[in-house]
Amino acid sequence: MAKILCSFIFLCACFVLSTGARVNHRILSSSTLDHDDATPTGSNFTYVCDPARYASLGLDVSNFAFCDTSLSYEVRAMDLVNQMTLNEKVLQLGNKAYGVPRLGLAEYQWWSEALHGVSNVGPGTFFDDLIPGSTSFPTVITTAAAFNESLWKIIGQAVSTEARAMYNLGRAGLTYWSPNINVVRDPRWGRAMETPGEDPYLVGRYAVNYVRGLQDVEGSENYTDPNSRPLKVSSCCKHYAAYDVDNWKGVERYTFDARVSEQDMVETFLRPFEMCVKDGDVSSVMCSYNRVNGIPTCADPKLLNQTIRGDWDLHGYIVSDCDSLQVMVDDHKWLGLDLDCGAYYTENVEAAVRQGKVREADIDKSLNFLYVVLMRLGFFDGIPQYNSFGKNDVCSKENIELATEAAREGAVLLKNENDSLPLSIEKVKTLAVIGPHSNATSAMIGNYAGIPCQIITPIEGLSKYAKVDYQMGCSDIACKDESFIFPAMESAKKADATIILAGIDLSIEAESLDRDDLLLPGYQTQLINQVASVSNGPVVLVLMSAGGVDISFAKSNGDIKSILWVGYPGEEGGNAIADVIFGKYNPGGRLPLTWHEADYVDMLPMTSMPLRPIDSLGYPGRTYKFFNGSTVYPFGHGLSYTQFTYKLTSSIRSLDIKLDKYQYCHDLGYKNDSFKPSCPAIRVDDSQYNDQFEFEVEVQNAGSKDGSEVVIVYAKPPEGIDATYIKQVIGFKRVFVPAGGSEKVKFEFNASKSLQVVDFNAYSVLPSGGHTIMLGDDIISFSVQIRFC
């Protein structure tokens, strides 16, 4: 395969370093890194261009133009790179940049993680007696279920404050390779807990808000020159692109070749990343291990140079997943690629330049991207408004309460027969708390977690409301021993109410571990049914999982009155669960994933990438957008302790879009015997139309309890268009409505973006005709007519 696409030349303009973002892969552990500037009480390091620091090194800072703040970051970065020797440049190409002592350039460790709190995964961050832990928020799939954009941004702000405080104390870096914004295409994917779910728009909006929360410096969100915009910390959207197979029946991410149509690529796999770059202004994108249509993503000039830098105009750097370059050499058999973590590339690039295989000028481009980002972060000059951040800003009372609130908002009430929940504090004095997650600790914080400030188990949380009799029911999640079921049944016979905490954990779904089925493991189903059949009081089933579980047996079991899904709820999970069960908090979360029936996994292999059904093979569609079969619970499902009604108060029902002489009708496939307009559609790429439409809905709380309602807005395309989505999310808002009250919620949309269809040839087009706007599960629907003239 020659060295055409995999040469360093075209990639250096977009790559900057190879990273490690893996716990159990071939990487450096955090214990291998010496934090030379860290002291027992803080850090000796201030910022690179501190005059006092240069003086202590026997250097005069005024002799170095890259420390001249009157110059632009681009000029300063260029000056720094131009002063380096080739050997010095190469030593900056890994996740550990070694610095240049003769220039006063300090070392820097690029790899830190902050998926749902500052993590100790990666050598850039560590905990010790000074900072023993950080706030561990619920996993992303849980906070995504809140459908609350302001919550996502506030969590990002809290995480970045803790990160910046730890940086000041020498315990963390400034560059965080989070969030994970891969769409969950298949319910078996092991990394579903890290992501915001299966809808590209939902995933993209999560990315925009979390990234803004991490990165934005107050007052500097809209700089004229985005490349000089200050950053609180640097965020990274990963893993680009079409990555959602880890290890399924021997198929591993390192060698998997995702065969993806351009239609699916544009419509599903790339959309969250485009939103992250364009709307979130993220400062980094990480490419993934896998190939896409035969080409490793980290060696694809179209995906990297043309799309991320060209079409989307990234203001930052592109980074490869750890060892992905070595994987391309060893596993994909692609040679001579960009940069690597550890010593793999730093030991070889210099020789490649001297042999004429790599241009030094391309290394310069990569280093310029890197140092501009570090300058925006204040690594060179400091950012005075963050100097005061310290120990008291980590694990603050406010952040712990925010973690509790996030877990509450993400809880989804799946079933509640006869209004069995909330439990009454006056009536329920004793609880049988049963199941393998009853005493959950590390299971609640998921993966890519640090050391939590504290962990409140479900038993501890529930004990604040009633006297608890705990029976494990299963010795662990695998639940291979049924001998613990009988004591659990005895406990349930005596208690005023029974809480069963079941589900799965990282031993079932995780990075490098995809699921084989959608069932509860071992004897868990038997435990639940047997306990429910003898319980004295109401039975509440609480499930911890990321991906959906087929609990049809519990859904249809009249002995199980209520079912509550809590994802992996973070360090405050126990308090949040108890608050919801006893009515201190009224649940309002919605499922960000379709919960499929167990036989779904028998219908198609996980490695089949198309989103649309493949009729010739009998494969069903994927995600709620393309699957029309029966489910356990659909995407967007979620109940409340109160009742909400909707009333449409105003709406725009038609749009007449005038085309100029350079705009043409675009053909669009229609089903046989369907009416096809004379002008089926227009292309929306690179075009601007005055095509805004809006509507307002009044949400009334008709019940007796205060609560929050998630208003999800779907669009359905005009009837007859062939091979398009069934419906898709175009907007959502979470609104609090007091009992007996009402709130008006206004939605505004750009028709070209919100009503577009991606055709077979991957053109984004706006179809003419009647588009159906649907609120929730068709609570209210109306048509918006699109006409071209």
Closest CA to 712 of 644, 611, 610, 642: 644
3-state SS, residue 560: coil
Beta strand 769-775 pairing with 257-258: unpaired
Q: What is the DSSP letter of 587?
A: -
Positive or negative torsion for Cα 590, 593, 598, 600: positive
Residues in the chain, overall count: 789
Q: How far is CA 375 from the centre of its chain?
A: 27
Write down the residue that tokens 């060179």 correspond to: 380
Q: Please, are residues 620 and 603 in contact by the beta-carbon 8 Å criterion?
A: yes
470 CB neighbour count, 10 Å cutoff:
20
605 CB neighbour count, 10 Å cutoff:
16
Q: Which of 186, 264, 281, 321 is catalytic?
A: 321
Write down the residue that tokens 């659909």 correspond to: 634
Task: Return the axis-axis angle of helices 485-494 and 524-534, rounded to nearest 10°.
Answer: 30
Between the alpha carbon of residue 407 and those of residues 180, 464, 471, 573, the distances in Å are 19, 17, 24, 6
Cis peptide preceding 241, ω within 30 of 0: yes
- Between CA 105 and CA 51 the distance in angstroms is 13
Q: Please, are residues 714 and 754 in contact by the beta-carbon 8 Å criterion?
A: no
- Between CA 154 and CA 734 the distance in angstroms is 15
DSSP letters spanning 242-302: T---SEETTEETTT-EE---HHHIIIIISHHHHHHHHTT--SEEEE-SSEETTEEGGG-TI
- Between CA 582 and CA 465 the distance in angstroms is 8
* Burial letters 212-250, b for 16+ CB under 10 A, else e: bbbbbbeeeeeeeeebebbbbbbbbbbbbbbbbbbbbee
571 CB neighbour count, 10 Å cutoff:
28
Counts for the chain of helices (H) and strands (E), in that order = 22, 35
- Between CA 704 and CA 696 the distance in angstroms is 24
617 CB neighbour count, 10 Å cutoff:
11
Both tokens of 226, joined, read 């985005």
- Between CA 170 and CA 371 the distance in angstroms is 20
What's at 564, amino acid-wise? Answer: L
Q: Please, are residues 175 and 233 in contact by the beta-carbon 8 Å criterion?
A: yes
**Residues in Cβ contact with 605 at an 8 Å cutoff, skipping those fewer than 6 apart:** none
Q: Is 281 a catalytic residue?
A: no
Q: What is the DSSP letter of 602?
A: H
Both tokens of 427, joined, read 């009536």
Write down the residue that tokens 């450096």 correspond to: 28
The angle at the Cα of 705, spanning 704 to 706, to the nearest 5 degrees, equals 130
- Between CA 668 and CA 765 the distance in angstroms is 9
Contacts of 742-746 with CB under 8 Å at 24 or more apart are 742/698, 742/699, 742/700, 742/701, 743/698, 743/699, 744/649, 744/696, 744/697, 744/698, 744/699, 745/696, 745/697, 745/698, 745/699, 745/711, 746/694, 746/695, 746/696
- Between CA 399 and CA 731 the distance in angstroms is 28
The residues annotated with a catalytic role in the active site are 321
